Structure 1
Amino acid sequence: MTASKQFLELSDFLAFSVWMQDRDTEVYSPVITLDEQIESIDDLFFRVRITTAQGFQFDGCVNGMGDVGMGIFANGKMYPVNSNFPKFSTESLAELSADDPALGLPEASSLFPLRFTTIIERDPIREFSGEIDFRRK
């Protein structure tokens, strides 16, 4: 695996649970030590387990504290969700459902709230959780 990447995939998060995006180059690098200079938590991406309202679970990632952006890994790709763009996010989840009909996923909007819990597995970084739910906006 290279030290930095233009795009992140599930395999990257399985290898390193925390990644940082350089604001100038938009390149991602794994956070190897806590000695690295981190300007903002918003520059970090964390590995998470995402659970839908119906209990479906997916591997994923969140940006920062996870209150705005997340990605769901399934079917060999990433489905983005962003609380600032509900229509785009609902379309992304509809694509997830269409890509794997065997999952039997309900209508995309009924998957909300999407709850997540980090899978960082590194001291002293503490696990955290949260959710994205467009119904509260």
Structure 2
Amino acid sequence: MIVVNRPSKKISYVMAKYIPELYLLAIEEEICMDVFSLDEMTRGWFVGSFEPTLYKTTAVEVALQKFKAGDYEESHCHKIATEITVIVSGKAEMKGEVYGEGSIIRINPGEYTDFKALEDTVTAVVKLPGVLNDKYLEKES
């Protein structure tokens, strides 16, 4: 949440938007942002209905994940959620196909894929909706 810092007061910018007096105060003051570290998050997940999170919501889950060459995640699917993976840097293999920097892969509900980092790789992942306990390993299905 964006807040305005004042001695002994914090005013939500969202609240200030709807109350004219607070809005004027907000634009006159320095607007401060909440700052978190990716290291504080679990496996890079920073938006979703889990803890810790930067923004709690069931609408979507978002992660920035870092993998070392050789890291592997077993084949799994989501029965409800669609998962979108962007290869930000590096190279990875998913379901037998090799993807490199700039590739965007949409994995539809019910579609299984594994993930193997062929070199140090960074991915951005969006899962929507943000459904907890919606991960099914292929071996268990």
TM-score, scaled to structure 1:
0.26
Which protein shows a greater Rg?
2
- Relative contact order: is structure 1 or structure 2 higher (C-alpha 8 Å, sep ≥ 6)? 2
Q: Which has the higher strand share?
A: 2
Q: Which has the higher helix share?
A: 1
